[in-house]
Amino acid sequence: KALQDGKADVAEQSYRQMLEKYPRSPARGDALFNLAKLELLRNHPDAALNAFWEVVDSGAPPVTASVAY
């Protein structure tokens, strides 16, 4: 929701906290994917590419991983 509201910093913090607190969460792929999108929004294509690869490597559900791939 924070990302949709234009609060990228808040969204990033929320995703990172979730990943740290719940590293095996089924939502892990979504959080990683959204962090990658944040890097694109910030015009950091190399960081975004690395983050999208992390989605693929994370074992995220096929739908999320295929979009990142």
How far from 12 is each of 23, 43, 51, 62, CA to CA, in Å?
16, 15, 13, 23
User: H or E element: which one contains 50?
Assistant: helix 45-57
- Confidence class of residue 7 from pLDDT cuts 50, 70 and 90? confident
| Residue 15, pLDDT score | 93
* Radius of gyration of the chain measured on its C-alpha atoms: 11
| Residue 3, pLDDT score | 59
pTM (predicted TM-score): 0.78
Q: Which tokens is 36 given?
A: 């990658």
Q: CA-to-CA distance for 9 and 32, rounded, in angstroms?
A: 15
